[in-house]
C-alpha cells in the first residue's frame, strides 16, 4: 500500500503522550518506515545481546507515530500484554470509527467483545478510514495478538515485544542500545550543563542502555550532582544489586541507576517511596489518580496514610517521582504509570513478607475505588481501568471482605460488559482461591460458587455448573445465611433447573424465593424484584403466559422506578413482558411493545450488546407472528450472524436464534436452507441440552414442519410423534408447546389424507388450547380453522362452515387484516403454527 501524506494529522486513539526527551534513533525510525512500506506488519524487538527490556521499543514506536502522524488517517495504540487490554483499546477505536452504537462511549455500549468484530471488519474494508495504523505494545502472546489483526486491510501494524518469536511471523527490527552520541544527547538534554566528556564517561558506565541513561539524566538534572560522585554511587550500588538481583530482564546498570534515585526518594519522602512499592504490585498499565484520591479512608502505613488523605502531599509525591523519572504522568488521562522493569527491580528488593504487605496495600487502594456499579454502562470505564490491576495484584487471593467484593464485582462487570468467557475464567480463579482459603461454608465462597456456576451455564459448561449450584443452595440452607442470600440461592437453583429442562422444579423454587422475599422485604425491594423476574421466567417456560404477564409488568414498573428505564435489569424485564404478550396471543401489541424495548436497549446498551441481541431475536418472532414475515426474517438472520460472530455456533443464544431462523426460511420458501439449519441445530442442542430438553424438542418440531413442506411426510410424522411423547414425559401433554406440536401432527395427517387422524388430534387439542391459552388465542383459532378442514375432508361440510366462520371472525378480532393466518382461514387452507424457544 502506498501511503499518501495528508494535510490533517491522523486521529489518535489511546496514544500516550509524546516523549519530549526522545533523542536520536533516526536510522531505526527510517527502518520502521521502510519495513511498513514493504510489508503490512513490522515487529520491533530487542537485540538479543542486550537483554529483554530497557532498549526503548515502545518509545521508538511512539516517536514513529508522532513523526508520521500525517501519513495515516487514524492511529490506535493497543496495550497488548493482556487480552482484556486489547479488547478495551479496540472498543475505543470502535467509537472513533463509528461502528460503536450511536451515542455511546467506548466503555459503554461498545462493550469490548461485542464491538471488536465490527471494528476489525471496518478496518479490513477500510470503512470509514482507508489508511490506518495499529500499534500492539508489549505483545508477548503471538497467537492471541495475531487474532486481532485486521488481515488484508488497507492499513499497517506495528508490534513491540520481548518475544523474538515474532521474527517468524513478521518483518522484525532488532532494537539495540543507544549509539554513544544518542546517549550524550539525552544526558545533556536532561542535565543542560553537563560537559560532553562527563556525559561520555557516564554513558560508558551505563552501557548506553536508554532506560538507564534516562534515569541518570533525570537524577543529574534534578540534583545537579557531579558526574564523578554519581559514578562513585553507581559503582558502589552495582555489587549490592548483583548479590540480590539475578534477573535476565534488565542489566545491572539500570537497576543501579534506579537505586540511587530510590534512596533519595526514601530519604526525602518516605510515603512516596512506599507508593512506588504499592504501584509495583499492580500492572504496568496506567493507574488512574482517582484510585489514590478515593483511598483517604484506608490505613496502610504511618508514612503513606497522611499523603493519601491530603491532596497537596499526594500531588507533591507524584511530582517528586515524576521528576526522577520513576513514573510517567499523563495529565490528559489523569494517570500515572511505572515501567515494568522498575516494577521488577522494586519487587526484587522486597522480602516475601514485604511483598505481601504491599500487595495488601494495593488491594486496599483498589477496593476503595470500587463503586459497585458493574451493572450500569456508566460505571464500566472505571472497572476497565481497575481490571488490569485487579489481575496483576492477584486480588483473588485476598481474604479481606472489601477486596472480595471488588473481585466479585469485577467478575460481574466482565459479564455485563459482554465478555462471558473471561468472566468465567476469572470466576474460576476466584472460586478456587476462596474455597481453598475459607471453606465451603464461608458466605463469600457461597456467593462466588453461585456466580461462577451461573457463568459456566452461559458459556455452555452446564454439567459442571449444576452440582456447584446445588451445593450452594444446600450450604445456604444448612448454615442459615441471611435471607437475601438464601433468596439468591433459590433463584440460581431455579435457573440451573431450567437448563436441565426441569421446569416445574424451577417454578417451585422461583415461587418459594418470591414468596419469601415479599414476606420479608415487601414488593419493591431489589431481592423481591430479582426473584419475581426469575419466577416470571419459570412461569413462561411452564406455558403459564397469562400468569407471567401481570407479574412481569409489575416487576418492570418497580425496576423502572428504582433503577431507571435504561437499566440492564429494567430492560431485561421489559423484554420479558413483550414475550408474555406475544405468547398470550396479543401479537400486534407484543410487536409494538418489543419494537420500543429494542430501540431503548440499543440506545442504552448498544445494538450488539448480548441483551439487545436477545431482544432482537424475540422481536423477530414478534414481527413474524404479527404477519410481517419479511421483516421478521431479516432481523432474525441478522441476529443469528451477530450471535455466531460473537459466541460461535454452539452457544445457546446462537442455537435458539437458529431455531427461529429455520421457521423464517421455511415460510420464505427456502426449504432446503431451513432443513440444513434445523438439522445442524438439533445436533448441537442434543450435545448441549440433551434429547429431552424443551429447546431440543421445539427445534425438532420445527424441523418436522419443514419436512412436511418438502413432502417427507413419513419423516415429519415420525419426528412429531416422538416429540409429543417426549414432551408428555417432561413438560406435560397439556403444555402449550405439546399442543402446538399437536397442530403439526394433525397437519401431517391431513397431508396424508388421513382425515380421521387429523380430526381426532385437532378435536382433542381444541378444548385444551381453549383452556390453556384462551378461546380467542390465535393458536386456538388456528386449531379451530384446521378442524373445519378436517370435517370438510370427512364430508361434514355444514359443521365445517360453522367452525370456519367462527375462526375467521375470531382472527379478525385479534390479527391485522392481511395476516397470513386470517387469509388462510378465509381461503380454507391449513394453518402452520411455529414454536419459538423461551429464554431461560
The tens digit of pLDDT for each residue in 262-295 reads: 888 898 899 999 999 999 999 989 999 989 888 7
In a domain, 540, yes or no: no
pLDDT at 360: 95
CATH of the domain at 775: 1.25.40.10
Q: How far apart are CA 832 and CA 671, in angstroms?
A: 14
pLDDT at 120: 86
Q: Which residues have a Cβ under 8 Å from the Cβ of 412 and sit 6 or more positions away? A: 374, 375, 423, 451
CA dihedral of residues 633, 638, 641, 645 (deg, nearest 10)? -160
Q: How far apart are CA 271 and CA 788, in angstroms?
A: 88
Q: What share of the chain is helix, strand, coil (3-state, %, to 5)?
A: 70, 5, 25
Task: Give per-residue pLDDT as tens, 705-718.
Answer: 999 999 999 999 99
Mean pLDDT of the chain: 89
Same-domain status, 192 and 123: no
- Where in the sequence is the domain holding 295, given as residue range(s)? 180-350
| Predicted confidence (pLDDT) at residue 247 exceeds the cutoff of 60 | no
Q: How far apart are CA 701 and CA 710, in angstroms?
A: 14
Same-domain status, 119 and 215: no
Measured at the alpha carbon of residue 643, what is the angle toward residues 638 and 646, in degrees to the nearest 5?
125
Task: Give per-residue pLDDT as tens, 523-582.
Answer: 999 999 999 999 999 999 999 999 999 999 999 999 999 999 999 899 999 999 999 999
Tally Cβ neighbours within 10 Å of residue 20.
6
In a domain, 562, yes or no: no
318 pairs with which residues across the strands? none
CATH of the domain at 39: 3.40.50.300
Same-domain status, 170 and 214: no
What is the tally of structural domains in the chain?
3
| Predicted confidence (pLDDT) at residue 186 exceeds the cutoff of 60 | yes
Residue predicted with more confidence, 617 or 342: 617
**pLDDT interval class at 7 (50, 70, 90):** low
Q: How far apart are CA 327 and CA 125, in angstroms?
A: 39
In a domain, 546, yes or no: no
Kindly state the average pLDDT of the residues 507-521: 97
Q: Which residues have a Cβ under 8 Å from the Cβ of 443 and sit 6 or more positions away? A: 481, 482, 485
Same-domain status, 147 and 230: no
Lowest mean per-residue pLDDT among 637-646, 729-738, 743-752: 637-646
| Predicted confidence (pLDDT) at residue 241 exceeds the cutoff of 50 | no
Same-domain status, 170 and 188: no
Contact 403, 367 (CB under 8 A): yes
In a domain, 725, yes or no: yes
Kindly state the average pLDDT of the residues 601-630: 94
Same-domain status, 76 and 216: no
Q: How far apart are CA 621 and CA 84, in angstroms?
A: 35
Q: Which of 350, 369, 386 represents a domain boundary (last residue)?
A: 350
In a domain, 802, yes or no: yes
DSSP 721: H
pLDDT at 110: 39
pLDDT at 517: 96
Kindly state the average pLDDT of the residues 684-695: 95
Same-domain status, 750 and 777: yes
| Predicted confidence (pLDDT) at residue 99 exceeds the cutoff of 90 | no
| Predicted confidence (pLDDT) at residue 106 exceeds the cutoff of 60 | no
pLDDT at 795: 96
Q: Which of 175, 196, 212 represents a domain boundary (last residue)?
A: 175
Same-domain status, 154 and 202: no
pLDDT at 803: 97
| Predicted confidence (pLDDT) at residue 48 exceeds the cutoff of 70 | no
Judged on CB neighbours under 10 Å (0-12, 13-18, 19+), 297 is exposed
**pLDDT interval class at 417 (50, 70, 90):** confident
pLDDT at 519: 96
Same-domain status, 163 and 209: no
Measured at the alpha carbon of residue 600, what is the angle toward residues 647 and 603, in degrees to the nearest 5?
70
> Where are any strands of DSSP class E within 191-318?
287-288
In a domain, 794, yes or no: yes
In a domain, 336, yes or no: yes
Q: Which of 350, 366, 388 represents a domain boundary (last residue)?
A: 350
pLDDT at 47: 57
Q: How far apart are CA 770 and CA 781, in angstroms?
A: 9
pLDDT at 243: 46
Strands 155-160, 74-79: pairing is unpaired
The secondary structure element, H or E, covering residue 322 is: helix 311-323
Of all residues in the chain, the percent with pLDDT exceeding 90 is: 60
Same-domain status, 163 and 186: no
**pLDDT interval class at 53 (50, 70, 90):** low
pLDDT at 10: 80
| Predicted confidence (pLDDT) at residue 231 exceeds the cutoff of 70 | yes
Kindly state the average pLDDT of the residues 672-700: 97
Task: Give per-residue pLDDT as tens, 753-804.
Answer: 999 999 999 999 999 999 999 999 999 999 999 999 999 999 999 999 999 9
Kindly state the average pLDDT of the residues 178-189: 88
Contact 305, 274 (CB under 8 A): no
pLDDT at 252: 63
Same-domain status, 232 and 285: yes
Judged on CB neighbours under 10 Å (0-12, 13-18, 19+), 152 is exposed
Same-domain status, 814 and 675: yes
In a domain, 274, yes or no: yes
Distances in Å between the alpha carbon of 70 and those of 11, 75, 133?
Answer: 9, 10, 11
| Predicted confidence (pLDDT) at residue 236 exceeds the cutoff of 70 | yes
Amino acid at each position: 500500500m502506498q501511503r499518501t501524506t495528508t494535510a490533517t494529522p491522523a486521529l489518535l486513539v489511546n496514544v500516550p503522550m509524546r516523549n519530549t526527551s526522545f533523542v536520536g534513533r533516526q536510522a531505526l525510525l527510517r527502518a520502521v518506515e521502510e519495513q511498513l512500506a514493504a510489508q503490512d506488519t513490522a515487529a520491533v524487538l530487542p537485540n538479543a545481546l542486550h537483554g529483554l527490556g530497557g532498549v526503548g521499543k515502545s518509545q521508538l514506536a511512539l516517536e514513529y507515530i508522532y513523526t508520521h502522524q500525517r501519513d495515516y488517517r487514524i492511529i490506535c495504540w493497543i496495550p497488548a500484554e493482556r487480552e482484556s487490554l486489547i479488547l478495551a483499546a479496540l472498543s475505543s477505536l470502535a467509537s472513533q470509527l463509528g461502528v460503536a452504537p450511536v451515542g455511546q462511549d467506548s466503555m459503554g455500549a461498545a462493550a469490548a467483545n461485542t464491538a471488536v468484530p465490527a471494528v476489525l471488519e471496518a478496518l479490513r474494508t477500510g470503512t470509514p478510514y482507508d489508511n490506518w495504523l495499529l500499534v500492539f505494545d508489549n505483545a508477548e502472546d503471538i497467537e492471541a495478538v495475531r487474532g486481532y489483526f485486521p488481515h488484508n486491510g488497507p492499513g499497517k501494524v506495528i508490534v513491540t515485544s520481548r518475544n523474538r518469536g515474532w521474527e517468524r511471523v513478521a518483518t522484525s527490527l532488532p532494537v539495540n542500545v543507544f549509539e554513544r552520541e544518542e546517549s550524550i544527547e539525552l544526558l545533556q538534554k536532561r542535565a543542560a550543563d553537563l560537559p560532553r566528556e562527563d556525559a561520555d564517561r557516564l554513558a560508558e558506565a551505563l552501557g548506553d542502555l536508554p532506560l538507564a541513561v534516562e534515569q541518570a539524566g533525570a537524577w543529574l538534572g534534578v540534583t545537579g550532582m557531579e558526574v564523578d560522585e554519581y559514578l562513585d554511587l553507581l559503582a558502589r550500588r552495582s555489587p549490592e544489586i548483583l548479590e540480590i538481583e539475578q534477573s535476565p530482564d534488565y542489566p545491572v546498570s539500570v537497576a543501579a541507576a534506579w537505586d540511587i534515585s530510590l534512596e533519595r526518594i526514601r530519604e526525602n519522602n518516605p510515603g512516596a517511596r512506599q507508593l512506588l512499592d504499592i504501584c509495583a504490585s499492580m500492572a504496568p498499565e496506567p493507574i488512574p489518580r482517582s484510585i489514590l484520591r478515593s483511598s483517604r479512608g484506608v490505613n496502610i502505613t504511618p508514612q503513606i496514610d497522611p499523603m493519601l488523605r491530603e491532596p497537596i502531599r499526594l500531588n507533591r509525591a507524584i511530582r517528586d517521582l515524576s521528576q526522577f523519572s520513576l513514573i510517567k504522568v499523563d495529565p490528559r488521562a489523569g494517570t500515572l504509570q511505572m515501567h515494568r522493569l522498575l516494577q521488577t527491580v522494586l519487587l526484587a528488593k522486597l522480602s516475601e513478607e514485604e511483598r505481601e504487605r504491599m500487595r495488601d496495600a494495593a488491594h486496599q487502594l483498589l477496593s476503595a475505588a470500587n463503586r459497585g456499579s458493574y451493572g450500569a454502562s456508566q460505571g464500566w470505564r472505571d472497572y476497565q481501568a481497575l481490571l488490569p490491576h485487579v489481575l496483576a495484584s492477584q486480588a483473588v487471593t485476598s481474604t479481606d471482605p472489601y477486596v472480595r467484593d471488588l473481585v466479585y464485582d469485577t467478575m460481574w462487570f466482565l459479564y455485563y460488559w459482554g465478555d462471558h468467557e473471561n468472566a468465567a475464567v476469572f470466576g474460576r480463579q476466584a472460586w478456587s482461591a476462596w474455597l481453598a482459603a475459607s471453606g465451603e461454608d464461608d458466605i463469600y465462597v457461597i456467593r462466588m460458587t453461585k456466580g461462577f456456576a451461573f457463568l459456566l451455564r452461559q458459556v455452555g459448561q452446564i454439567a459442571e455448573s449444576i452440582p456447584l449450584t446445588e451445593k450452594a443452595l444446600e450450604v445456604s440452607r444448612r448454615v442459615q445465611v441471611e435471607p437475601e442470600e438464601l433468596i439468591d440461592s433459590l433463584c440460581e437453583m431455579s435457573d440451573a433447573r431450567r437448563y436441565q429442562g426441569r421446569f416445574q422444579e424451577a417454578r417451585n423454587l422461583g415461587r418459594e424465593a418470591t414468596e419469601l422475599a415479599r414476606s420479608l422485604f415487601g414488593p419493591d425491594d431489589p431481592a423481591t424484584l430479582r426473584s419475581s423476574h426469575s419466577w416470571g421466567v419459570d412461569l413462561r417456560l411452564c406455558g403459564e403466559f397469562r400468569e407471567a404477564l401481570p407479574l412481569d409488568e409489575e416487576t418492570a414498573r418497580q425496576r423502572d422506578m428504582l433503577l431507571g428505564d435504561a437499566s440492564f435489569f429494567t430492560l431485561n424485564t421489559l423484554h420479558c413482558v413483550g414475550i408474555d404478550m406475544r405468547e398470550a396471543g396479543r401479537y400486534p401489541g407484543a410487536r409494538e411493545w418489543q419494537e420500543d424495548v429494542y430501540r431503548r436497549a440499543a440506545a442504552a446498551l448498544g445494538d450488539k450488546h448480548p441483551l439487545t441481541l436477545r431482544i432482537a431475536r424475540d422481536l423477530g418472532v414478534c414481527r413474524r407472528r404479527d404477519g410481517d414475515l419479511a421483516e421478521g426474517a431479516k432481523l432474525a438472520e441478522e441476529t443469528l450472524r451477530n450471535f455466531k460472530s460473537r459466541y460461535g455456533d454452539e452457544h445457546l443464544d446462537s442455537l435458539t436464534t437458529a431455531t427461529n431462523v429455520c421457521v423464517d426460511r421455511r415460510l420464505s420458501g427456502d426449504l432446503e436452507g431451513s432443513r440444513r439449519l434445523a438439522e445442524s441445530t438439533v445436533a448441537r442442542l442434543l450435545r448441549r441440552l440433551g434429547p429431552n430438553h424443551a429447546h431440543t424438542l421445539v427445534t425438532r418440531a420445527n424441523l418436522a414442519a419443514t419436512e412436511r413442506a418438502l413432502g417427507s411426510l413419513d419423516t415429519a410424522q415420525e419426528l412429531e410423534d416422538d416429540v409429543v411423547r417426549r414432551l408428555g414425559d417432561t413438560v406435560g401433554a397439556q403444555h402449550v408447546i405439546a399442543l402446538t406440536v399437536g397442530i403439526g401432527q394433525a397437519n401431517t395427517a391431513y397431508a396424508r389424507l388421513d382425515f380421521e387422524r387429523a380430526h381426532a388430534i385437532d378435536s382433542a387439542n381444541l378444548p385444551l388450547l381453549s383452556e390453556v391459552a384462551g378461546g380467542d388465542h390465535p393458536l386456538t383459532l388456528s386449531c379451530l380453522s384446521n378442524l373445519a378442514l378436517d370435517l370438510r375432508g370427512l364430508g361434514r361440510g355444514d359443521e365445517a362452515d360453522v367452525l370456519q366462520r367462527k375462526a375467521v371472525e375470531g382472527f379478525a378480532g385479534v390479527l391485522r387484516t392481511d395476516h397470513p393466518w386470517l387469509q388462510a382461514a378465509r381461503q380454507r387452507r391449513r394453518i402452520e403454527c411455529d414454536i419459538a424457544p423461551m429464554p431461560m
